[in-house]
Chains A and B, each alone.
Chain A
Amino acid sequence: MEQTDGTIVRADLVAALAAIPGSAPVEERGAGLWISAPRLDVEAMAREMKALGCRLVTMTGLACDDGETTIIYHYALHHDTINFKTATSGNAIRSIALLVRPASWSEREIHDFFATDFIGHPNLVPLIRPPELKDGFFRDPDPGSITPDKP
């Protein structure tokens, strides 16, 4: 699977990504690989990506009109970027923070912005949300209008 310089053959990488439970066909787009998999097993993904030597770069949240959140897991491996796009159910999804350290702050940030529940996160407290705003304020059409409660 590995080449002499330690990198993974692209075809083997694509096959490994597609074999993750709940995964989907891998699409090459822009400068990276994209997998749109609404039913992705994110814990299995985290374990497999770790085994492949991939680094979790960050996670992006996107608000959906139905109250759900699209979550994108962005990974890097040598010269590739790999992006898994999945969806919450009841605005909740399993946490990968105990499997991948940098996921902890990313999940807390998405919780701040979109009120997404990361099930199993060891410390899902606000990271950068100001105390006068509520979790999920990125969904608010006018979050700037919220003023702190008067004592």
Chain B
Amino acid sequence: MPYTIPIGPFHPALEEPYKVNVKCVAETVQQVSVDVGFSFRGIELMAQRREWVPDVTLIERVCGICSNVHAMTFCHAAEQIAGIEVPARARYIRTVISELERLHSHLLWAGLAAEFMGFQTLFMEVFTLREQVMDLLETISGNRVNYGMNRIGGVNRDIMDPKSAIDTVQAMAKVIEKDVVPAFMNNITAKGRMGGVGPLTKEHAIEWAVVGPVARASGLAIDVRDDHPYLAYQELGFKIVTQPEGDVRARVVVRALELLESIRLITEALNNLPSGPLRAFEGMPAIPPGEAVVLTEAPRGEVVYYVASDGGRTPARVKIRTPSFVNIPALEAMTMGQQLGNISLIQASVDPCLSCTDR
């Protein structure tokens, strides 16, 4: 006889609230529906009532993990409307912070994935690495979470010691290559626990329009850094990581391999850091009437901002579409026919961010 289990909104594995209603027959999932909106903050509305400069600070609070990408994308949109060209050094610094943020996010997720599998030693190893990334971000920006690096027209702070930052990420690369990637790719526990679980075929990935590592793990070679190059990605070269299987293991492997690509990008950017100013101007120019759509690649996937200006002191419209907003609904496809006991792992494999989704 079918029965329904409500999982959430207060979740055993996630700190953020959302609800998954799971309908089962015996232990097999027949249907899933997702409820979000438990932590709505009205950031879009607030952004339309504050001035452009404080908006950068506000929008950095859309997400606690990928805070930088939100502030940066909003700045891109304002810069596009106003025709502001960001200096080369600032573009490279934004690239470095973006990739450090991706390292931080992917390592956080990898650690949690290890814990969900019951792989405690890997969890400790990964969280040690994550701590090193956060220390580096703190050294550069003075902050561990909301870095405050972006301003309209450039960045607020320089990277004072690129060599030390390179040494740190290169030391991390050795551990990731030697321990973390093999553990997720080859360890018998990891393979057995994640292989074939929560599949999303390439056709379903297209149908649900998923983005980021979730899409790439289903064989879709989409990444804003390659499709719509911004910052210094075109100059640095960029290699998309994909896996064809579409299961939880493939999502883990994509993120693990992306750690190495991020470290390569950080190293290249720091080795080739251009000289010059950090910002296009001092103060804040008026943003003329206009509108812009800007896409960037956050750790969880494509972020989209639509920003409109009527020439006033505040934006006329700020629309934010986060990657979790399109990845979470695809849980319906990933969980169909799966075992009830795998639901937590499948949910986690999407790396859902409810702070982002609800805004």
A130 within 8 A of B: yes
In the bound assembly, the distance between CA atoms of A12 and B272 in angstroms comes to 40
Whether A74 touches B37, Cβ cut-off 8 Å, given contacts A60-B319, A62-B317, A101-B207, is: no
Partner of A58, one of B206, B292, B304: B304
B308 within 8 A of A: yes
Whether A81 touches B42, Cβ cut-off 8 Å, given contacts A58-B319, A128-B36, is: no
In the bound assembly, the distance between CA atoms of A94 and B111 in angstroms comes to 44
A30 within 8 A of B: yes
**Neighbouring A residues of B359 by C-beta, 8 Å:** 128
A127 within 8 A of B: yes
B174 within 8 A of A: no
In the bound assembly, the distance between CA atoms of A25 and B304 in angstroms comes to 24
The number of residue pairs between A and B whose CB atoms lie closer than 8 Å in the complex comes to 74
**Neighbouring B residues of A78 by C-beta, 8 Å:** 227
Residue pair B293, A32 in contact (C-beta under 8 Å): yes
Partner of B302, one of A30, A57, A72, A113: A57
B209 within 8 A of A: yes
**Interface residue SS majority, chain A:** mixed
A90 within 8 A of B: no
Among the listed stretches B124-132, B144-152, B321-329, which one makes contact with chain A, having 4 or more residues with CB under 8 Å of it?
B321-329
Q: For residue A141, which residue of chain B has the nearest CB?
A: B49
- Contact residues of A between 68 and 85, Cβ < 8 Å to B: 72, 74, 76, 78-79, 81, 83
Residue pair B40, A129 in contact (C-beta under 8 Å): yes
Least Cβ–Cβ distance between A113 and chain B, in angstroms: 8
**Neighbouring B residues of A88 by C-beta, 8 Å:** none
Partner of A62, one of B292, B293, B308: B308
Residue pair A102, B326 in contact (C-beta under 8 Å): yes
Whether A101 touches B329, Cβ cut-off 8 Å, given contacts A60-B319, A129-B40, is: yes
Q: For residue A131, which residue of chain B has the nearest CB?
A: B37
In the bound assembly, the distance between CA atoms of A76 and B294 in angstroms comes to 12
Least Cβ–Cβ distance between B176 and chain A, in angstroms: 31
Whether A105 touches B228, Cβ cut-off 8 Å, given contacts A55-B206, A57-B302, A58-B319, is: no
**Neighbouring B residues of A105 by C-beta, 8 Å:** 325-326, 329
**Neighbouring A residues of B357 by C-beta, 8 Å:** 128
In the bound assembly, the distance between CA atoms of A143 and B46 in angstroms comes to 10
Residue pair B209, A55 in contact (C-beta under 8 Å): yes
A104 within 8 A of B: yes
Residue pair B228, A31 in contact (C-beta under 8 Å): yes
**Neighbouring A residues of B36 by C-beta, 8 Å:** 127-128
Residue pair B295, A57 in contact (C-beta under 8 Å): yes
Least Cβ–Cβ distance between A100 and chain B, in angstroms: 8
Q: A57-B302, A58-B325, A105-B329 are in contact. List 19 more A-B contacts (CB 8 A).
A: A30-B293, A31-B228, A31-B293, A55-B206, A58-B306, A62-B308, A74-B293, A74-B306, A81-B293, A101-B209, A101-B329, A102-B209, A113-B44, A128-B37, A128-B40, A128-B357, A129-B37, A137-B45, A138-B45
Interface, chain A (partner B; CB < 8 A): 30-32, 55-58, 60-62, 72, 74, 76, 78-79, 81, 83, 100-102, 104-105, 113, 126-130, 137-138, 143-144
12 A-B contacts, Cβ less than 8 Å apart?
A32-B293, A57-B295, A58-B325, A58-B326, A79-B227, A101-B209, A102-B326, A128-B37, A128-B357, A128-B358, A129-B40, A137-B45
Q: Which 6 A-B pairs have the closest CB atoms?
A: A128-B37, A58-B321, A102-B209, A60-B319, A60-B306, A128-B40
